[in-house]
Amino acid sequence: MACALALLIALWAWVQPAAAAPGLCVGPICGDEITRSAKHHFQLRMRVSDQLGHRERLTVDCRNGALSPAAGLVERGFAAAVARKACRLAGEAPV
């Protein structure tokens, strides 16, 4: 009985926890850790990543959809689509 219990505990310890699903995805780009800027309510900060493992931290101006930085490893077309979706969900979409 003790041997079976020890085996069960060893197997339970071997199991890796599942990774959480990303926040918002558009095509191969996903955005998570989305927060509102403390200084400007119309700005969102987010971490975007692609399927190749590239990760970046972006600032989005929801008034005009501008991304900062404007260039980087993550493809900006899909990153802009994720940013627009996040702005809509945050209630900061341009009128």
**CA–CA separation, 76 and 73 (whole Å):** 9
Does the pLDDT at position 13 exceed 70? no
pLDDT beyond 50 at 4: yes
- Which of 5-14, 51-60, 66-75 comes out lowest in average pLDDT? 5-14
Exposure b/e, 67-85, CB count within 10 A at least 16 = b:
beeeeeebbbebbbbbbbb
pLDDT at site 21: 56
Q: Which pTM does this prediction carry?
A: 0.73
Q: ∠ CA 95-45-40 to the nearest 5 degrees?
A: 60
pLDDT of 62 reads 95
